[in-house]
Amino acid sequence: MDASQDFKSLQDKVQSALVAATRSANGVAREDLSFLRTVDPTVSSKLDENSSRLLRLAQNLLESAGKFHGQQAPKLEDADDVDINWRSIVDVVDTLLEKADTCLDEYTGLVKRKDAPTAETGRASKKPKSTNDKLEWSMKRANIIKPQNAFERKVDNFDTGAFRPLLSSKPHATVPLEESLVTYVDDFGNPQYKHPYETEIQDLKYPKQVYEKTEPILYHDVEKTSAVWVDTYEGVLEMLAELKKAKEIAVDLEHHDYRTYPGLLSLMQISTRDKDWIVDTLRPWRHKLEVLNEVFADPNILKVFHGAYMDIIWLQRDLGLYIVGLFDTYCVCDALQYPGRSLAYLLKKFVDFDADKKYQMADWRIRPIPEEMLYYARSDTHYLLYIFDMLRNEILDSTSPVEPGKPLMDTILDKSKEVSLGRYETMLCDKETGQGTRGWFNILVKGSGVYNAEQFSVYKTVFKWRDDLARKEDESPMFIMHFSAVGDIARVLPEDPKALWSLLGNVSQPVKSRIDELFALIQQARKEGETGPTMLEFFRENNSMGSVARRVFDRKPKSKAPEVPLPDISELRADKSQMFGDMPISSRWEETGKAVKDDMHIALPWTAYVQQQADEDARLAKAPVNQEIDMIPLETESKVEVPEDDGFTLKQGRKRKANDAELPSEPTSDNGNETKEEESAQASEIELVDEDAAQKLAKKEKKERRKQRKAAKAAKAAGKEDADMQDGAEAEEEDEQPFDYSAAQSVLRAQQQNSDNTGGRGRKGKKEKVFDPYTAKTEGTIKGARKMNYEKAGRTATFKK
């Protein structure tokens, strides 16, 4: 029988049995099972038998699925275990279904099979679809065997001495290797080796093609070419022979630093004008890649990087490679002040290529490398030489903004030399001072937490224990324990291991297995911190200006230059402030401390009022006094001129009293002249009058105005009583007239306009009625009661006999 037909019959048989069993189970309510067991004992035995059989079948299926993808299946001894282990059951089934989907996609051709590339055929790269999906966690933190365990040359994580260059030979040297390996003492008193190619880089003369403006050489179509995968030493030698023929090469690296303490150079991409190589740097013989110094240290071959600061460090640390003749395109972006500095920006600007940068944080230890990651790695160098041509032509047409007389190309090459002179230094972590690449000093300086003496001691101790454990397990300190967990332990100071466990959160297994060890260490640190310094005291003592000066400048030789005498302080003082100009900041600094009042003119509202009152007093004193003149002003309509808004002038220096408010406005002999005098007083500058004289003039004028108002009030009350009654009747009739909305003035400024036109008063010294359209509709209707206060509680008292 055909295998496909045999599987089809088995599938139908199993499916029909499952459907029948499911229908039977759904036909009986779960709540009735206990009742059925008591009614008929045979039902109870059949239920137990069928339940056990179904559990055995489910257990066998889970174990079979778990073996297929390497996952442990949960054990199902009774029905309750299904609810308890439901999440584990779902994980096993979901993983099995994902595997089945992947196999179907590969069979139908929707997804290409991920085979390892070979050196003969390479790998045909295709441009992936641009997506914004996040990278899967398995691609970021792959759970694989550490490749560094198979290296022929192991790394000692506990070596805290000076890092000795891994060079066994020095190609293209002007100074022999033995003379290059010399040491010196850094600013912190630690011995360090000098850069072995320091002399060669400083004396470097770049090739002529760097200074020649030529037509850019177009890159090859990435869809029609393929990259060569190099994972053998023979493949490295073949690649080296072709690289020696090139004038420029493009280089880029991929790095991993999460599951190893010092870091791990995982991939190297190299491109020429015609070919791309991808070198596997995780092979056990990786130290033999030192042979690439024959090209990397050749001053006649230009090495084009982008952002090579860390690449230089990684090449020295892992492979013993040094770059002579570096051209860093990042320095070009900085010099030309591009809005973007990344390689993705350059690819978009010059090539119109959208790089999928989500693979930048991928775990590049994965083997075989997926198709999308390989395409991303190749694109970093495939277009870089064409970008170099475009940037070179743009640089040669520009001048240096920092040094106008120096060509911009020389400035960029000098910065590239500085980058290539970078050195790798051993990662240190000093418990007491916090200095070193892995120390806690910079973390506390940048942080916002403040610890007392006990907390500070615990922080230093836990931080050092975390670093030692990371070195021992060959893991990064971030994998062992996050910075925040160290800070939480120091801040809370747990009293027992259970409290310590609650602070750790999702930490690594090495920490969980050493909880008791860590807790004992914390208790010991708390005792030591009782007599130790606080965090602030430590920084005051070790980070003060005097401490830094003693630590840094004591080792530097004193200058033999003659001392230059300091100039007189009077020569350094300017006659005029650059910010305030000639304006005197204080009378103390003026040439004459005595203020000259005759030459000071200040336009203030108070001074305008004082000057106005003084002019009015002089005018009234000269005018003849006639007792028989009629003090009642004529009621003639006069056009009021609207003064220009030249400034605010204070008309009255005090608040109006109630009796003054009821009186009519003061009569004057000539209102037009008074208005003109007020306008002229506002617009012109006046002289400052002494405060005592102003008060005397104000009192005198007040008395004169009071006498005139009394006389005017008496004459007005006696002479026009009848006219006022008639006018009052006419006013009532006028109030009853319908309101003309078309000729009405603005309601929002009704009071202001009324006061401007009538002086704020109507007939008989009363304010005229202003129409309010919002309250007119409700007049004449029944008004509701006022809002009463809420009910208050009654009084209570206690009576005694």
pLDDT grade for 310, boundaries at 50, 70 and 90: very high
Number of domains in the chain: 4
Q: Is residue 777 part of a domain?
A: no
Residue 522's nearest CA partner among 545, 552, 499, 489 is 489
152-171 in b/e burial notation, b at 16+ Cβ within 10 A? eeeeebeeeeeeebbbeebb
pLDDT at 356: 79
Asked if 148 and 155 count as a contact pair (C-beta separation under 8 A), the reply is: yes
pLDDT at 5: 58
pLDDT at 609: 55
Give residue 46's domain range. Answer: 40-113
pLDDT at 414: 94
pLDDT at 108: 65
Domain of 513: which CATH number? 1.10.150.80
Q: With 70 as the cut, is the pLDDT of residue 36 above it?
A: yes
Q: With 50 as the cut, is the pLDDT of residue 281 above it?
A: yes
Count Cβ atoms below 10 Å from residue 580 Cβ, excluding itself: 9
Within 13 Å of residue 426, how many CA atoms lie on the same side as its CB?
Answer: 20
Domain end call among 667, 695, 714: 714
Mean pLDDT of 636-655: 48
pLDDT at 662: 44
pLDDT grade for 757, boundaries at 50, 70 and 90: low
* Percent of the chain predicted with pLDDT > 90: 38
pLDDT at 715: 74
Count Cβ atoms below 10 Å from residue 696 Cβ, excluding itself: 11
The structure tokens listed for 383 are 């277009």
pLDDT in tens, 690-705: 556 677 788 888 888 8
Q: 375 and 316: one domain?
A: yes
Better-predicted residue by pLDDT, 432 or 715 = 432
Q: Is residue 260 part of a domain?
A: yes
Q: Is residue 79 part of a domain?
A: yes
Q: With 50 as the cut, is the pLDDT of residue 771 above it?
A: yes
pLDDT in tens, 410-439: 999 999 999 999 999 999 999 998 988 899
Asked if 711 and 663 count as a contact pair (C-beta separation under 8 A), the reply is: no
**Could you say which DSSP state residue 268 is in?**
E
Domain end call among 714, 729, 759: 714
pLDDT grade for 383, boundaries at 50, 70 and 90: very high
Q: Is residue 776 part of a domain?
A: no
Q: Is residue 529 part of a domain?
A: yes
Q: 344 and 222: one domain?
A: yes
Q: With 90 as the cut, is the pLDDT of residue 588 above it?
A: no
Query: What does the H/E/C string look like for 532-586?
Result: CCCHHHHHHHHCCHHHHHHHHHCCCCCCCCCCCCCCCHHHHCCCCECCCECCCCC
Phi, psi for 407 (deg, rounded to 5): -60, 145
Q: 92 and 170: one domain?
A: no
pLDDT at 770: 58
645/662 Cα distance (integer angstroms): 29
319/296 Cα distance (integer angstroms): 12
Q: 104 and 177: one domain?
A: no
pLDDT at 121: 36
Better-predicted residue by pLDDT, 584 or 185 = 185
Q: With 50 as the cut, is the pLDDT of residue 117 above it?
A: no
Q: 191 and 255: one domain?
A: yes
pLDDT at 515: 92
The structure tokens listed for 63 are 């174990």
pLDDT at 190: 86
pLDDT at 508: 86
Mean pLDDT of 25-38: 78
Q: 386 and 311: one domain?
A: yes
Mean pLDDT of 771-779: 56
pLDDT in tens, 521-569: 999 999 999 999 999 999 888 765 445 545 444 444 444 445 556 666 6
Q: 368 and 484: one domain?
A: no
What are the C-alpha distances in Å from 621 to residues 220, 235, 527, 692, 708? Answer: 105, 117, 94, 20, 14
pLDDT at 149: 93
Mean pLDDT of 650-670: 45
Q: 536 and 475: one domain?
A: yes
pLDDT at 760: 47
pLDDT grade for 19, boundaries at 50, 70 and 90: confident
SS3 (DSSP) at 114 = coil
pLDDT grade for 156, boundaries at 50, 70 and 90: very high
* Percent of the chain predicted with pLDDT > 70: 66
Q: Is residue 229 part of a domain?
A: yes
Compute the C-alpha angle 239/242/246, nearest 5°.
130
Q: 607 and 539: one domain?
A: no
Domain end call among 113, 146, 177: 113
pLDDT in tens, 124-146: 334 444 444 677 877 888 888 99
pLDDT grade for 756, boundaries at 50, 70 and 90: low
pLDDT grade for 476, boundaries at 50, 70 and 90: very high
pLDDT grade for 42, boundaries at 50, 70 and 90: confident
Q: With 60 as the cut, is the pLDDT of residue 484 above it?
A: yes
Q: With 80 as the cut, is the pLDDT of residue 610 above it?
A: no
Q: Looking at 27-173, list the stretches that DSSP marks H as alpha helix, in order from N- to C-terminal side.
A: 33-39, 41-69, 79-84, 86-108, 137-140
522/533 Cα distance (integer angstroms): 17
440/579 Cα distance (integer angstroms): 44
pLDDT grade for 711, boundaries at 50, 70 and 90: confident
pLDDT grade for 654, boundaries at 50, 70 and 90: very low
Asked if 184 and 308 count as a contact pair (C-beta separation under 8 A), the reply is: no
pLDDT at 105: 66
Q: 466 and 416: one domain?
A: no
Single pTM value for the model: 0.56
**Could you say which DSSP state residue 267 is in?**
E
Mean pLDDT of 352-356: 86
**Could you say which DSSP state residue 759 is in?**
T
What are the C-alpha distances in Å from 561 to residues 556, 568, 591? Answer: 15, 21, 42
Q: Are strands 276-280 and 264-271 parallel, antiparallel or unpaired?
A: antiparallel
Strand extents, DSSP E, 320-472: 326-328
State how far Cα 648 lies from the chain centre: 48
Q: Is residue 578 part of a domain?
A: no
**Could you say which DSSP state residue 349 is in?**
I
Q: 338 and 405: one domain?
A: yes
Q: 181 and 307: one domain?
A: yes
Low-confidence winner among 6-20, 211-225, 508-522, 599-613 (lowest mean pLDDT): 599-613
307/342 Cα distance (integer angstroms): 8
**Is residue 253 within a helix (H) or strand (E), and if so which, with residue range?**
strand 248-256
Find tokens 């020389």 and name the residue: 410
Q: Is residue 755 part of a domain?
A: no
**Could you say which DSSP state residue 124 is in?**
E
451/526 Cα distance (integer angstroms): 12
pLDDT grade for 644, boundaries at 50, 70 and 90: low
Q: With 50 as the cut, is the pLDDT of residue 406 above it?
A: yes
pLDDT grade for 160, boundaries at 50, 70 and 90: confident
